[in-house]
Amino acid sequence: MDISRSLSKRISFFSLLFLPLFYAAHAEFNIATIPFNKGYYPLFGDNNVVRSSDDKSVNLVLNQYTGSGFKSSDLYNHGFFSAKIKLPSDYTAGIVVAFYTSNGDIFEKTHDELDFEFLGNIRGKRWRFQTNVYGNGSTSRGREERYYLWFDPSKEFHRYSILWTNNNIIFYIDEVPIREIVRSEAMGGDFPSKPMSLYATIWDASNWATSGGKYKVNYKYSPFVAKFTDLALHGCAVDPIQEVLSTSCSQKDDQLESADYASISPKQRSAMKKFRQKYMYYSYCYDIIRYPIAPPECVIDPVERRQFKDTGRLDFSVRRHRHDKSKGQVSRMRTYEDQDED
């Protein structure tokens, strides 16, 4: 049997096991969406930013000439940024699709940023992605986490969302929270605090994206297309300079913090914990070589901690043992795959 096909089937089997867990977490959010021209404009590679006739969807294309991207027309002081995304299919090694907020074009040395970054894929492998949090230019104190997806994001659309309030940050996939950062005084300026724009991009990151740059973009498979639809922007649009002195967004902040996606229900929290235990393979909170003392926002989960080496990466020697023969084969397959992608 073809190895990649066998591996893909096994991954699909594991995904089916966990689907009820994740999608029982919460009903679909009630989100108002907007057409592209009401909230966004092309950022680069204009000819590769392809809008639908009804302007409710947009494709970002990477070919041998250029990538592409779009950006929100306004900056927002806190917000809920969301889109349904379908990633490129087939061989996509070396390609990064990013959905993120940033103000780096205005505050070059003290920028804030919140990221989803999808890190390219090789047929038969599980898709990997990372989330990042930077505040006040704290790139030397990056707060990266890396995970596997429990589904193939190139097969159908899934909603990816970033909630950013004065008190917390939550990353969602569909209605499942996968990461929460609660603001604390000890974080100081490392908690993003300045107005940010929403960005979406596709680009060639062959030098680092897939297995540390081992696998490059192969333009034989181009064009690579990332599809976006059901775009949502909820927050207070501001002037970034005036906002430093203004508190006019307090009403919008109150509305944002009272929305259904602004708090995590017990079911959602349980789903988030299980996601992190099963699919997170790097966390800065457990990287004691980089951070001998965990950053103040880290909540150390003893169960999670036992799974990680001092580098913050999974410790395969403590992976869950399988006792029957068929499950043992799947366990060995997954361990080999994880090691191969480090």
- Active site (catalytic) residues: 113, 117
Residues contacting 188, CB < 8 A, separation 6+ = 136
Sheet strands side by side (includes 280-287) = 40-44, 68-72, 197-204, 95-102, 113-118, 128-134, 145-148, 280-287, 311-313
CA atoms within 13 A on the CB side of 59: 12
Number of C-beta neighbours around residue 214 at 10 A: 13
Residues 247/265/190/305 CA torsion (nearest 10 deg): 170
The answer to whether 46 touches 65, Cβ cutoff 8 Å, is no
Cα separation of 38 and 272, whole Å?
Answer: 33
CB atoms within 10 A of CB 10: 17
Give alpha helix (H) positions in 111-217.
none
Q: Which amino acid is at 260?
A: D
